[in-house]
Structure 1
Amino acid sequence: MSVHVPPDDVGAPRAQAGPNPQHLLTTLLGEYLDSSDAGLPSMAVVAMLGEFGISEPSARAALSRLTKRGLIAVRGSGRPSVYHLTPQAIARHRSRMDHFLSFGARPPQWTGEWVTVCFSIPQSRQAQSRQAQSDKAESRPAESGQAPRHAVRKALGALGFARLYDSVWIRPGSDTGPVTRALHDILDDVDGGRWSVMHTRFDEETGPHGPAAAYDLAGLASAYEAFIAEYSDLRAAVRNGEIDASRALVARTSVMDSWRKFPDIDPNLPEHLLPAPWPRQAARDLMLEIHSALGSLAEARLIQVVTPYWPDAASWITHFNASENSLSAPAGGDG
């Protein structure tokens, strides 16, 4: 599947498979804090991650790394350390929660337009790079051909493009500004490097020669189906009133931590390009039902867990829910 990682203006960690304390902490902070004024003691972070089986050393390492990335900052010079979310992180959290909770709510407005990028880096530079690598030459000359190509592919992936052919990349829509700027930055100083950004339409939009061929839609469908299979029992337990506050925090956060990858890997193609039946709506409905039903319970559990280390936690902790217009909104709390 053509997967892209979105640009990250405050340096939050990239999603990884398996348990990831940094990724988990990012989800928790995004879900339950909505003020840069809140002073978050380090032991409160250790306690909240401890609910998920994360050890204290791993929790502190995650805290340190998110601080280095600019997601959180140290307040004052006292001991133990007190942290706070930066205003940039708060703005990003709000935007990302809107993105996560509204994704898939409405079909994209489709005009038939695609942005297409073609680029060329002289073969001779690539050949020199391969030769340099085979001769075990110094790394700097070896990077001359491969580094720009890698940088272009990385930038295109981050902007939501998928590779249709070797050096032909596409994405639905019409906005060319970000990709044009990225290509200028990467290739303007590369000798012989050429690129073009175009608005295109496909004569045969459906079928094996159409744009959907750039995407592993079968793999994406399987990922949605795996999400549904993983959390269907939890939804049944929620409906039966079997999830109490002690379980709600882990359950709700786990669902969001699993769901949040989809808005970044799903190209949100128009319906006529998708195989039927397409499982995204069923996955989204499941996520929203669990997420909404457990919000207050999860908030209460988080307050209970961190209050011994953060006495005014109840004044700051909140939770996000999908509002009627399918965008996220903080609910509860005073922060």
Structure 2
Amino acid sequence: MPPLVPPQTLMLMLLGDFVLDRGVCVFSGSAIDVLGRLGVSSHATRSTLSRMVNRGLLRRQRHGRKMYFGLTDRTAAILHDGRSRIWETGAVNDDWDGTWTLLCFSLPESWQRQRHDLRSQLAWSGFGPLQGGLWIAPGTRPAQSIVTGLGLSAHARVFHARAAELTDIGAMVRDAYDLDALALRYQGFLGRWEGTSPFRDPLAARLSLIAEWLDAIRRDPRLPVEHLPADWPAARAQGLFRDLEAASLSPAHSLAATFLDLQPDEVRPTRPSTPQ
């Protein structure tokens, strides 16, 4: 079965599993072999590598006649962020402290691009629109850094607050977030990975599994479980992912060791505190 994610995402999964924090770079032929196991053509893989270099996501490094690819600081930060979302943050918010981050903004009507950029970054950081220019997110979120980074500090205000007793938090969550769309991501993951694996190849299965799980959780605002429907599928999906990931680790890495060509990275990326 072909993967549901684009070649660049699969490439990032390969780099995250076998290159990140190891001080190595990977031979282009190895990348072609691995993505070929996932149904990606050699032409598509070469094009992906070239685009990633052009976008500053990879560096070329030659050893003899072979071309290898190493991580840039930017890509290392992206991969560390993904690792954190999977293993540290997780999909289930069962220790919420009752606080909310509120951001209210008012932009001139003509600022369509700025409004779009602000809403996109807020959604990525777990905010949902409650009403008008008021967005909310559970816990403490980097709202101030978002508006500062966009040059909109003069047009926005950030607060941290707790809901009063008379507030129906469940209704507020339903108003601010599309719960059906969020649940559908986890249901889709469960439907694809419960039972028989969609891949016989253990390496292909592992990279696709991690890529699809990260896609499922990357836009999840991690809403408090006590204010979600009783049948919320995130916990079951997360349990399935962690079981499958643990089971895939040894066979996938054993297979990769037989053909993955790695060389020491001459310029090792540093780890910034936050992804760029």
Given the two structures, how large is their TM-score scaled by the length of structure 1?
0.69
Equivalent position of 2:269 in the other structure: none
Cα distance change on mapping 1:95 and 1:199 into 2, 3 Å: closer
Pairing of 1:1-335 with structure 2 (within 5 A) = 18-35=4-21, 37-76=23-62, 79-86=65-72, 89-90=75-76, 92-104=78-90, 107-123=93-109, 126=110, 145-175=111-141, 178-188=142-152, 194-203=155-164, 204-208=167-171, 210-234=172-196, 247-306=201-260, 310=261
Higher RCO, 1 vs 2 (CA within 8 Å, ≥6 residues apart): 2
Residue 87 (structure 1) shift = 5.3
The CA distance in 1 between the partners of 2:239 and 2:144, in whole Å, is 36
- Equivalent position SS for 1:260: helix
- Conserved? CA contact 1:104–1:280, under 8 Å: no
The structural deviation recorded for 1:196 is 1.4
Distance 2:89 2:181 in 1: 19
RMSD: 2.9
Mean alpha-carbon deviation: is it higher for 30-39 or for 111-120? 30-39
Unpaired runs of 5+ residues, structure 1, are: 1-16, 127-144, 238-242, 317-335
Q: Report the Cα offset of residue 187 of structure 1.
A: 4.5
Q: 1:97 to 1:185 in 2, by over 3 A?
A: closer
Which 4+ stretches in 1 moved above 6 angstroms?
A: none
Q: Deviations over 1:224-257 (max 9, x none)?
A: 122112111236x9xxxxx8xx611111222111
Once the two structures are TM-superposed, the CA of residue 42 in structure 1 deviates from its matched residue by 1.4
What do residues 271-325 of structure 1 show as CA deviations (whole Å, max 9, x unaligned)?
221101221111111111111111111112223343xxx3x68x99xxxxxxxxx
Relative to the length of structure 2, the TM-score reads: 0.82
Report which of the two structures shows the higher radius of gyration computed on alpha carbons.
1
Cα distance 1:55–1:172, how it changes in 2: closer, same or farther (>3 A)?
Answer: same
- What's the offset of the Cα at 1:98? 3.6
Once the two structures are TM-superposed, the CA of residue 167 in structure 1 deviates from its matched residue by 1.4
Residue 171 of structure 1 deviates from its aligned partner by 0.8
Percent identical among aligned pairs is 29
Number of equivalences: 261
Other structure's SS at 1:65 match: helix
Flag structure 2 segments of 5+ consecutive residues without an equivalent.
266-276
